[in-house]
Structure 1
C-alpha cells in the first residue's frame, strides 16, 4: 500500500448530536463529520473556526491517507495497516470514505508510524 501524510495538524471534536453542520467543510483538504444518536464527531484542521458548543476536543492529530480507490470487495486494508501500527505501539483513529481509508495518529507518533509502515513493506510520502 501507499500512504501519504496530509499537511497540518487536525483536531477531533465531539458535539451534541443535534449540532448544526459546520458551514465551511469544503474549504479543507480533509474534513469528516459522523453523527450518531448520542454525538456528532467533527475532524478538521486544528486551527479551523469550528462552531461553539463542542463537548470535547483533542488536538495534535496527523493524517495518513491510504492511496485508493479500493473496491468494496478488497479485504483487509485497514486490518493490515492497523496491525503494523499496533505492533509498533501506535494508537490510531480510523476513518473510511467511499474510495479509501485514513489513519489519524498523534503528532508525537507520526515518525514512528511512518517508519513502521515502511518496515512493513509500504510506501510513505511526507
Structure 2
C-alpha cells in the first residue's frame, strides 16, 4: 500500500508555465528549459511545460507554477503514489498539473499555493525541501 509511505518532495525555484500549442507544433524558440521541460503531443494538441519568463502573452498558457518532484526513483510496480500525494492538496483545494517521467512524478502547483501545498504535505507525514542546484 504505497500511498501511506512517507515521501520527500523537492521544490524547484523556477516559475513555470504550461503552454498549449497546436497539433504537430515545433518547439518555439522562446521556450526555455528549466528544472523540468516537457513536451507532450497528441493528435489534437501539443503541451509544453517550460520556464515561464519568456512565454509571450498572446500564447495560450497557464502559469505561474512551482514544480515539486518525488525524491528518488520510483518503481513502476508501486501503486497509489500520486493518489497519496494529491489527496492532501485536494483537501486544501489546491489545483495541480502532474507529469511523470521514467524515474519519478512531478506535481506543479500555482505559485500562490506552493507554501500551502508544502504545509499540507507535512501535515500528511511527507517532507519537503529545496532541490539542489543541478550541475551541468
Compute the TM-score of the two structures, normalised by the length of structure 2: 0.82
**1:13 deviation in Å?**
0.3
Structure 1 unaligned regions, length at least 5? none
1:2-17 equivalences under 5 Å are: 2-17=8-23
Q: Which has the higher strand share?
A: 1
Moved over 4 A (4+): 22-27
Q: Which residue of 2 aligns with 1:57?
A: 61
1:1-126 equivalences under 5 Å are: 1-22=7-28, 27-48=33-54, 54=59, 56-126=60-130
Q: How many residues get paired?
A: 124
Deviations 1:20-57 (A, max 9, x none): 1356878532101101111000001101467xx84x11
**1:68 deviation in Å?**
2.3
Structure 2 unaligned regions, length at least 5? 1-6, 131-136
Given the superposition, is the C-alpha separation of residues 125 and 91 from structure 1 closer, same or farther in structure 2, using an over 3 Å criterion?
Answer: same
Compute the TM-score of the two structures, normalised by the length of structure 1: 0.89
Q: What's the C-alpha RMSD, in Å, of the aligned pairs?
A: 2.1
Contact 2:22 2:44 in 1 (8 A): yes
